Amino acid sequence: MQLSIEWLPAQGDPAQLFVLLHGWGETGHAMAPLAQALREQFPQAALLAPDAPQPSETRRPGRQWYGIQDLNEQTWPQRVSSALQDLAPWIRVQQQRLGVPPAATALAGFSQGAILSLALVTRQHDIAGRVLAFGGRFVSPPDMAPPETTIHLFHGEDDKVILVSGTREGLDQLVALQVDATADVAEGIGHELHPVLIDCALHRLKSHIPLRTWQAALGSR
């Protein structure tokens, strides 16, 4: 996959890795506002925004992680699974190349990118320590909890492409599995990587203490 954005620390090795996954019909450049916000707050992080491997079926010159023609609830899970076959090993190669372990890796996706991020960490529990999912949802309810991953969900209340109910249902599913998860919903915002949601993500990254950290601290008393 071609990288639209590859921002590395000005000096020294990366302490963290953010992999930014764009939405349907876009390229990695669409994640630049989020990348810039993360760069300002985490200057020692590596920021990668790849272009999806497939050309968009209808929006040129955009890209897609999977096709949307004839997409329905029955075909959706398989298309996501197929996309992960290329994405998962690519992420592991980048972790090795940059010397950043999975625990210090965050997947941040919008729309299709969020859908892939959520699917990936509930299937491969050792690939990332955090997920920032903007305007996405689970294609099918997760049945296993990623024990080492914190999942942050962000959604616009007025999203007409992927309804906010998907985020609310996803949070309920994650809580039932005892996954460390949060959800932020912003009024008056549609299907977009809005600055308000980016600010919510920065707040979560800087202030949220993972549940596993609390449990470890309580268990050590």
- Identity of the residue numbered 121: V
Token pair listed for 32: 């630049």
pLDDT at 217 over 60: no
Q: Are 204 and 146 in contact (CB under 8 A)?
A: no
83 closest CA partner among 136, 21, 130, 34 = 21
Gap between the Cα atoms of 198 and 207, Å rounded? 14
Q: How are beta strands 45-50 and 3-7 bridged, if at all? A: antiparallel
pLDDT > 70? residue 66: yes
pLDDT of 164 reads: 96
pLDDT in tens, 146-179: 888 999 999 999 999 999 999 999 999 999 998 9
- Is 70 exceeded by the pLDDT of residue 144? yes
What's the confidence (pLDDT) of residue 59?
Answer: 67
- Alpha-carbon gap, residue 120 to 117, rounded angstroms: 5
Please provide the average confidence, as pLDDT, over all residues in the chain.
92
Q: What pLDDT, on a 0 to 100 scale, did the predictor assign at position 212? A: 56
Return d(Cα 24, Cα 88) in angstroms, integer: 18
Helix (H, G, I), strand (E, B) or coil at 61: coil
Q: Which residues are catalytic?
A: 111, 159, 191
CA dihedral 213, 214, 220, 221 (to 10 degrees): 160
For strand 150-156 and strand 130-134, is the pairing parallel, antiparallel, or unpaired?
Answer: parallel
Report the C-alpha gap between 198 and 132 in whole angstroms: 10
Q: What does the pLDDT look like over 4-58, one tens digit per residue?
A: 999 999 999 999 999 999 999 999 999 999 999 999 999 999 999 999 999 988 7
**How many angstroms separate the CA atoms of 48 and 108, rounded?**
10
Segment 81-96, tens digit of pLDDT: 999 999 999 999 999 9
Whole-number pLDDT of residue 147: 85
Q: What is the DSSP letter of 26?
A: B
Is the predicted pLDDT of residue 220 greater than 60, yes or no? no
Residue pair 130/106 in contact by the 8 Å Cβ criterion: yes
CA 114 to chain centroid:
5
Is CATH 3.90.180.10 the classification given to domain 3-219? no
